[in-house]
Structure 1
């Protein structure tokens, strides 16, 4: 096993605030607990929940590290009890409950996946959070299947670009919304069938024009007043899947369309779910999605990269909403 240092460089703000609170500090190197591996982190993805945690509105679950960062890629340098020692030296990407903005991070073995051969560590770090989220919500909860037309908001976000990529390889027609003509063009380049500029077009009317019978699934991260409009886009037996609430957590919904079209309203949060659940999603991804990554059929869309010392700039980029795809921190 590698001789480990006592401390790791990390981003671990003492309190909530703006991006300026994201400064480098030293923290003890975590230990791999039972069922865990310790990863020397090469890169870590930046996600909206990281921004919310920094602002103090999305605290980490009980027992999770206060260090932000929900996805990493790197090399396993130590294993805990009940983990095969052959994992040492393996290159993995992992979904974690926190701790990713650091040189070393512990990860449950069930939430680790091999780095696909065609991908760099940087690209692999951009996979777990959005691939786990889109797979578990669009495909598992939403039941999207080959031939379906679906609507995903935030088409050029990490979630949106992942929905487009997975939709391509699983035979979906993916409609997205985005906030500029440039972003709409990029979404179509990535593989969206249609991209709707929500600032200049009524997305409900556009969806009705593009899919007169309605869409099978809406993957919604917007919430608020978008919810009743989303319901108007759904076909009979359609599914509305909520994964965030950027425009507010309260919505007024009409009941008659829900009853008349027999709609299903559901949603989920990934971070608080059990290791067992996340491990089951990882197993599904390994079987059904990873072969497409290994074959080079899809690869994550990377917007920009920043060294760990510039995590504040990475958050500023995220908050600008100008990014297309994933923002990644390079660490070691």
Structure 2
């Protein structure tokens, strides 16, 4: 895959931009990309900007991203140039998707909310994210090579011993012993590191396969893991949320087993593609469904389904359409298919379990 060309991509979005602005944006892109590589919270912040989602009151995203963008363009204002901030954030996320970061596609899918939120590139980010997730499936066999344990590189101890045996050489027996000990220590560290990497690769793959087996048995059993009740007893309006949260609860690492999406569709059956309002699903929640959520998500806007559910089940209050719109930028009556709603709940659950949102 060719390297991501920020300048070309940016000029496609802003063909009239002058060279000084392009140069400034290129530097901002590089800095934002570096920050995103250092902290998950920054990747999440970029999703807020890319999809123009209302930021939490306590967020410092405006400050850190604004400082990056105005460093080489003093006229830039994060308050007045949100569209420009959205462009840079979108391109940083696009670059991450092209580089195969496993968590970014799931984050982008959650932020897009089944296509109800749009980026400045007219959904191109969401499309690239979908393709990135599919590519991860296709390249799995090439990425997961057979783990190998490699020995360390031997130090030239023998040359030191030869010098030690040479008449008139000043090498001492202490120096020889120290060199042997250092060589031994270095090789042990290298062997340990190589072994741990091989074990981790095998462990991660076994975990993924174990989760897929668990999901298959979950589907065959037709029993909600979280509610401890048969899925057939769950109200139809609520079933997509229960299915998505159940599947997400059984996943422990991003991006999750790729069979999850098929399991979700199978669990929903013939009603998978039926449209419904989010508000209808949330209004179907009752106290007996309290085990669906334990905490209110820190990033409510990126987890609207869990946020609304936690309002009802943890706060005991009906969700206000105005409050929901202010927190998420979405209508509480937004329409999705049952499958889209279940997948949204699934993505939110997995992201929350690994402390992304």
TM-score, normalised relative to structure 1: 0.26
Greater C-alpha radius of gyration: 2
Higher-helix-fraction structure: 2
TM-score, normalised relative to structure 2: 0.25
Higher-strand-fraction structure: 1
